[in-house]
Amino acid sequence: MGMNTAVPAVPAKKKKFTRQKGSWGLYLMLLPAVVLTAIFVYVPMSGLLMAFQDYKPSLGISKSPWVGLDQFKFLFEYPDSMQVIWNTLEISFLKLAIGMFSTLAFALLINEVKHKFLRTSVQTFVFLPHFISWVVLGGIFIQLLNPEYGLVNQLLKALGHEPVFFLGSNHWFVPIVLFTDAWKEFGYGSIIYLAALVGINPALYEAAQLDGANKLKQMLNITLPSLIPTICVMLTISLGGVLNAGFDQIFNLYNPLVYESGDIIDTFVFRIGLIGGNFSFGTAIGLFKSVVGLILILGGYRLAYKVAGYKIF
C-alpha cells in the first residue's frame, strides 16, 4: 500500500505573510527615498500656513498674525499679477503644443530610419542638450544673441541688417524661449513615443502594404491611432506642471527689459517673495499655482479616460 505523499495546503493568509516577509529587503531599499521625500517634500508643506498669515521671520509661523485670504485678494489686486499669470499660461501652453509636436514628429521620422548606426548616432546627438544645465545654455545663448559681438547679429550685419537685441525685446523674447526649449528637449522627450512605436504590431503594417497603403497612409491609419493612448498620458502628465513654464530657463535668459512678456509666476515669486522679503505673498502665489495645477491634471486625467480609456486608479 503506497504512502500518501500529498502536501498539505498552506492557508492563503500564511502565503501572503510569507511573500511579504521575503520582500523586506526591497522595502529597505526604498526606505532612503521615502525618508528623503518626507523630509524635503511633506515636512516643508507646513510652510503653506504662511499663505494665510502676515508672516514675520522674527515671530515664526506659530506666532505670526493670521490674515485669512488677504494674501490671495492682494494677488489679484496687485498691478503685475494678471500680466504674470497671462505670461505663464501663454508660455506654458505654447511650450506644451510645440514640444508635443516636435517630439512626436521626431519620433515618427527617426522610426523610419532603418540604418542602425545612423539612427543611434542621431538619437545620441539630439539627446545630449537635455543633460546640459540651463545655467550653461543660458550663458551660451546670451553670447550667441549679444547685439554687439554675438554670432547671430554678426551674420545679420554681414547680410546688411541692423543688429537686434533679441533678449531685450518683448517681441523676440518669447519666440526665443520657445525655440530654445524645443531644441533642448525634443530629442529626450521622444523616448516615450519611440518605445510606443516599438510596441505596434508589425502585422498591421504588413497587411496595410498588401492593401496598397503607402507610408503616409500607414502613419495616418496605423501609427497615429496606436499612439493616441501615449499622447493622452503625456498630455495628462504635462498639464500638472503647466504653470511652471520653466523657471531655470527664463531666470537665466530674462532681464528687466522683458518683464512685460517674460515674467512668469515662478520668477515673480522669486523676486517678490525671496528677494523682496514678502514671504506670505510668495507662498500664496505658489499655493494658487499648485491648486490650479491639480485641477488641470485631474481634468486632463478625466479627458484621457474619456478619449483613450487611460486609467491609473
Residue 7 pLDDT greater than 70, yes or no: no
pLDDT at 178: 92
Least confident range from 75-79, 98-102, 257-261: namely: 75-79
**How many other CB atoms are there within 10 angstroms of residue 89's CB atom?**
16
Q: What is d(CA 104, CA 289) in angstroms, rounded to the nearest whole number?
A: 28
* pLDDT over 80 (residue 297): no
Q: Angle at CA 283, nearest 5°, toward 68 and 248?
A: 160
233/254: higher pLDDT: 254
Over the chain, what is the mean pLDDT? 82
Q: Is the dihedral of CA 115, 117, 122, 123 positive or negative?
A: positive
Percent of the chain with pLDDT over 90: 11
Pick from 257, 256, 283, 267: nearest CA to 74: 283
Give the model's pLDDT for residue 8: 53
Q: Which domains are assigned to the chain?
A: 68-308 (1.10.3720.10)
Which pLDDT score is estimated for 1? 45
SS3 66: strand
Q: Among the listed ranges 16-25, 86-95, 133-142, 188-197, which one has the minimum average pLDDT value?
A: 16-25
pLDDT tens figures, 47-59: 888 888 888 888 8
Question: Is 80 exceeded by the pLDDT of residue 304?
Answer: no
The pTM is what? 0.77
* pLDDT tens digits, 190-228: 888 888 888 888 888 888 888 888 888 888 888 888 888
